Amino acid sequence: MTTPLTLISENRSFGGWHRRYRHAATSTGCDMTFAVFLPPQAEHGPVPVLYWLSGLTCTDENFMQKAGAHRVAAELGIAIVAPDTSPRGANVPGDPDGAWDFGHGAGFYVNATQAPWKAHYRMHDYVVHELPALVEANLPVSPRRAISGHSMGGHGALVCALRNPGHYLSVSAFAPISNPMDCPWGHKALSRYLGEDRESWREWDACELIAGASERLPLLVDQGEADSFLAEQLKPDALARACGAAGHPLTLRRQPGYDHSYYFIASFIEDHLRHHAAALHS
């Protein structure tokens, strides 16, 4: 039987396999690349999976190479799937000014409604629907799903979980863009992808979605207190206020001395993996 996946590379890692695949994606209208870590347990049957969403300028490679997650994922019997952060290709428009915080590498995990972005920038549909269906049909991965991410990807993880009750068993985030309606990165992305009507932005803002959430998955969020983006872009206090007002369970851990880098993620990724394993194996 033919597979829609083209294997790009594979590496043995902690008794399992790290692989990169390319495939033609319907939701984004272009070829997409993703990485997957399959733990040793996947050789005996489908394993639960954590979807990891990376931040601005990243690809599928950053987390897999820098986070140090494979050892604990292998111990816990959890697969990790890391998609790219945006559609790419010669026919996919990027930032008209060549900036790094919009366009290629900056899909913000929304479904764009405005030209010229709407033809390709449908990363929410890709991450929530198309990619899991593809992975579950072609790899030894089960539909027991968790989701996490960093910065723009932390925003994506929170929004994907809040917008799709029942789709994930657990959610966490590192330094998420918690309130994109009220930060420069969010203003730039949402105004272009969704248009100037701010009401349409609410369905892509975790702080707005929490109030009406029909599912109360506990949120685990780590935030470095030495993060240079903390006050202007990330707004963890807004997330804490929204969760407090709605009675939504939140564990917000403020980590002294840690910045926005993968050193921060690598320092606490084991806690997040164990948080997800408790739900995925229950």
Identity of the residue numbered 52: W
Residues noted as catalytic = 151, 227, 260
How many angstroms separate the CA atoms of 155 and 118, rounded? Answer: 20
User: What is the Rg, in whole angstroms, of the alpha carbon atoms belonging to the chain?
Assistant: 18
Q: Is 74 helix (H, G, I), strand (E, B) or coil?
A: helix
User: Residue 45 CA to chain centroid, in angstroms?
Assistant: 25
81 bridge partner residues: 36, 51
CA distance 196 to 190: 8
Relative to beta strand 250-255, strand 219-224 is parallel
**β-bridge partners, 79:** 49
Question: How is residue 63 written in tokens?
Answer: 């987390």
Reference 150, options 4, 68, 10, 261; nearest CA is 261
- CA 30 to chain CA centroid, Å, is 19
Instruction: List C-alpha distances in Å: 282 to 48, 153, 162, 277.
Output: 11, 26, 21, 8
Find the length of the chain. Answer: 282
* Rounded distance between C-alpha atoms, residue 193 and residue 189, angstroms: 6
| Torsional sign, CA 189, 194, 200, 205 | negative
Q: What is the DSSP letter of 212?
A: G
